[in-house]
Structure 1
Amino acid sequence: MDKFSVMTAYCRIVERGSFARAAEDLGVSAALLSKEIKLLEESLGSILLSRTTRSMSVTDAGQQYYEEALSILEAVSKLDGRIREVSGSVKGQLRINAPNSFGQAVISPMLPAFLEKHPDLRLTLSLDDRVVDMIEGGFDLSIRVRSSLPDSSLIARRLGRVQQCLFASPDYLETAPALNQPDDIKAHPVIGFLLADHVSEWSLLGPGGPHTFSFKPHVKVGSSFVLRDLLIAGHGIGTLPDFISQAPVREGKLVRILPAFSLQPREVFAVSASRFGMQAKVSAFLDHLQRAMKDCIHNAL
């Protein structure tokens, strides 16, 4: 059991008053948090949280543990900060894995400033749309854009939420059939994304709840950038994440269609092997990334 990680999780549960809310903040499942706290209680021989199916309360021992754990975690954080200030720079080898489109659209533009700020850092950035084994691959950090993450021994930090909406070019819409409701999509050529959960099916969230329907894509591509370019060229309609769509919409090259509807949003997670094993180089990269995300993702934290 990683005691620092469990301390962090426990403090978040107490502060949020809920396993579910703490799990959402930490990017893990409530079931995994419950298991970790149970193991912690067994190791201490004391009940920290009194739980029923409807409520949770902190015991006297739990309150004492929370206060002491919070003090320890704050001391560790201050120590990390002092060491970083003394060293004056972030050094060493940093290996990062990220999805291809996110890497090109979000990470690539921020890299020059990041590397200029940390000239002693040696960076390896691997872009791959497959979910890789980050430990086997030797990565310090993996960025994943997914609706959820499976339970694992890895530690996930949620960085933001990506919206996925429907788009077409203004030129295409001038002569295309009307698009006033989801069923109207059937009269239009659709450009499908090969890496989507359902390349021939959309479940649109809107005022009347989910609206799921199947279609036969006119074209199927495995790159969000290729999909974007085909939409701009007027080859039909399709979906894009906001970090890809924002610029062409701002430039008037794409228009959002059916604005009351969108696909299920996806979360941006930073995954590492250990929360308190996180080195200064990883923290520095994540701080820089989060600042960059605020410029291209509406729901960046």
Structure 2
Amino acid sequence: MDVLQAMRVFVQVVDCGTFTAAANSMNISTAQVSRLVSELESDLQARLLQRSTRRLGLTEVGERYLERCRSVLAQVDEASAEASGAHLVPKGRLRIHSITALGTQLLGPLAVRYGERFPEVNIEMSLSQRHPDLLEEGHDVVLTLARTLPDSELVAQQVCDIYSVVCAAPAYLDKYGIPKSIGDLENHRCLQLIDPVFGESWLFNDNGVEQRVQPGKIFQVNVAEAMAQTAAAGMGICLLPDLVAAKALQQGTLVRVLPQHRLHERSLYALYPSRRYLDAKVRTWIEFLKEELPKAMRSHQAILENALFWA
């Protein structure tokens, strides 16, 4: 027995006054109405209606059950309306996971602006260097960096491109000299930013020829902001993604080295489970990112291209 349907039939019988009138209003047969009410009473082991040839009346149990039915059905209808409208109106909790650098440098301010545009959405953001299991951990959107994406059932939207640059503190270069070529880096203290995409090496493309530089073990870290701070203190030369390097270059705590080189170019992707019945909060967040993040990245990259550099 479909309990919800039986409850709807019971309420309709009470409202309409007869089985026949209820059947006509619901476009089903009178026999179906009678059967569902009887099955409901049998399931409850309680009589809900007093029947006579001339009228129907509620029992005391039926009166209490009617109130419960109206409350339950109203909540079911509200839940159905909310779920079916989820693709139309952005609302509810939006669970986002992002790489740390992107989250700390750009996503905070963007989340504020998105929240102003869609005030019924509550944003829950987690940051880490790892790539989480989107479905198992319950994220709505995962923002990840990759050169290419492996085959999966997830939907991927390319948002923008990111690259890395070589930087050092002016004090370090004053003390140890300025590398003029990729080969000169062998004579310098190169710090290691552990990169889940490119690994431990710095991969240069010099006129179509790939050259690898292996950073030393003097300092290793997996968060770009920590690397920027260490390099600014004069510990050595580092490789930073553009979205982190821009702030340090603008403040003058770091300068570019070998500015003709862009390294480790990759794309930022927004991953989500399915295009079908896409929730409005997910759709609008991705549309917002595709609109705003490229502009923010262009601003950062303009700082890199115009920043003071040593060559």
TM-score normalised over the length of structure 2: 0.64
Amino acid across the alignment from 2:122 = R
Task: Tell me which residue corresponds to 2:226.
Answer: 226
Instruction: Tell me, in whole angstroms, the C-alpha distance in 1 between the residues paired with 2:121 and 2:210.
Output: 46
The farther-off stretch of 143-152 and 285-294 is 285-294
Deviations along 1:79-126, whole A, 9 cap, x unmatched? xxxx899x6x52122111111121111211212222122221122112
**What SS does the corresponding residue of 1:136 show, helix, strand or coil?**
helix
Contact 2:157 2:271 in 1 (8 A): yes
Instruction: Tell me, in whole angstroms, the C-alpha distance in 1 between the residues paired with 2:184 and 2:214.
Output: 13
Task: Give runs of aligned pairs for residues 1-301 of structure 1, distance below 5 A.
Answer: 90-197=90-197, 200-298=200-298
> What's the CA shift for 1:182?
0.6
> What's the CA shift for 1:178?
2.8
> What's the CA shift for 1:196?
4.1
**What SS does the corresponding residue of 1:267 show, helix, strand or coil?**
strand
Alpha carbons of structure 1 residues 199 and 294: separation in structure 2 relative to 1, 3 Å: closer
**What SS does the corresponding residue of 2:156 show, helix, strand or coil?**
strand
TM-score normalised over the length of structure 1: 0.66
Could you list the runs of 4 or more consecutive aligned residues of structure 1 that deviate by over 6 angstroms after TM superposition? none
Instruction: Tell me, in whole angstroms, the C-alpha distance in 2 between the residues paired with 1:200 and 1:129.
Output: 15
Contact 2:191 2:215 in 1 (8 A): no
Question: Which has the greater radius of gyration?
Answer: 2
Alpha carbons of structure 1 residues 198 and 117: separation in structure 2 relative to 1, 3 Å: closer
> What's the CA shift for 1:251?
2.3
Amino acid across the alignment from 1:112 = V
Alpha carbons of structure 1 residues 134 and 141: separation in structure 2 relative to 1, 3 Å: same
Tell me the C-alpha RMSD between the 2 structures. 2.4
Contact 1:248 1:254 in 2 (8 A): yes
> What's the CA shift for 1:135?
0.9
Contact 2:145 2:197 in 1 (8 A): no
Instruction: Tell me, in whole angstroms, the C-alpha distance in 1 between the residues paired with 2:107 and 2:285.
Output: 10
Alpha carbons of structure 1 residues 196 and 172: separation in structure 2 relative to 1, 3 Å: farther
Q: What percentage of aligned pairs have identical amino acids?
A: 25
Deviations along 1:195-251, whole A, 9 cap, x unmatched? 445654221122252112334232001211100111112211111111111122122
Alpha carbons of structure 1 residues 229 and 295: separation in structure 2 relative to 1, 3 Å: farther
Alpha carbons of structure 1 residues 216 and 274: separation in structure 2 relative to 1, 3 Å: same
Instruction: Tell me, in whole angstroms, the C-alpha distance in 1 between the residues paired with 2:93 and 2:248.
Output: 35
Task: Tell me which residue corresponds to 2:308.
Answer: none
**What SS does the corresponding residue of 1:277 show, helix, strand or coil?**
coil
Instruction: Tell me, in whole angstroms, the C-alpha distance in 2 between the residues paired with 1:229 and 1:295.
Output: 26
Contact 1:200 1:216 in 2 (8 A): no
Instruction: Tell me, in whole angstroms, the C-alpha distance in 1 between the residues paired with 2:123 and 2:215.
Output: 42
Instruction: Tell me, in whole angstroms, the C-alpha distance in 2 between the residues paired with 1:139 and 1:172.
Output: 42
Amino acid across the alignment from 2:156 = A
Aligned residues: 216
Task: Tell me which residue corresponds to 1:61.
Answer: none
Deviations along 1:250-286, whole A, 9 cap, x unmatched? 2222211111223221110011111243222112212
Alpha carbons of structure 1 residues 92 and 198: separation in structure 2 relative to 1, 3 Å: closer
**What SS does the corresponding residue of 1:294 show, helix, strand or coil?**
helix
Alpha carbons of structure 1 residues 200 and 284: separation in structure 2 relative to 1, 3 Å: closer
**What SS does the corresponding residue of 2:135 show, helix, strand or coil?**
coil
**What SS does the corresponding residue of 1:234 show, helix, strand or coil?**
coil
Instruction: Tell me, in whole angstroms, the C-alpha distance in 2 between the residues paired with 1:291 and 1:169.
Output: 34
Gap regions ≥5 residues in structure 1: 1-82
Amino acid across the alignment from 1:107 = L
Contact 1:162 1:242 in 2 (8 A): yes
Amino acid across the alignment from 1:210 = E
Amino acid across the alignment from 1:194 = I
> What's the CA shift for 1:181?
0.6
Alpha carbons of structure 1 residues 272 and 139: separation in structure 2 relative to 1, 3 Å: same
Instruction: Tell me, in whole angstroms, the C-alpha distance in 2 between the residues paired with 1:189 and 1:291.
Output: 39
> What's the CA shift for 1:299?
9.6
> What's the CA shift for 1:127?
1.3
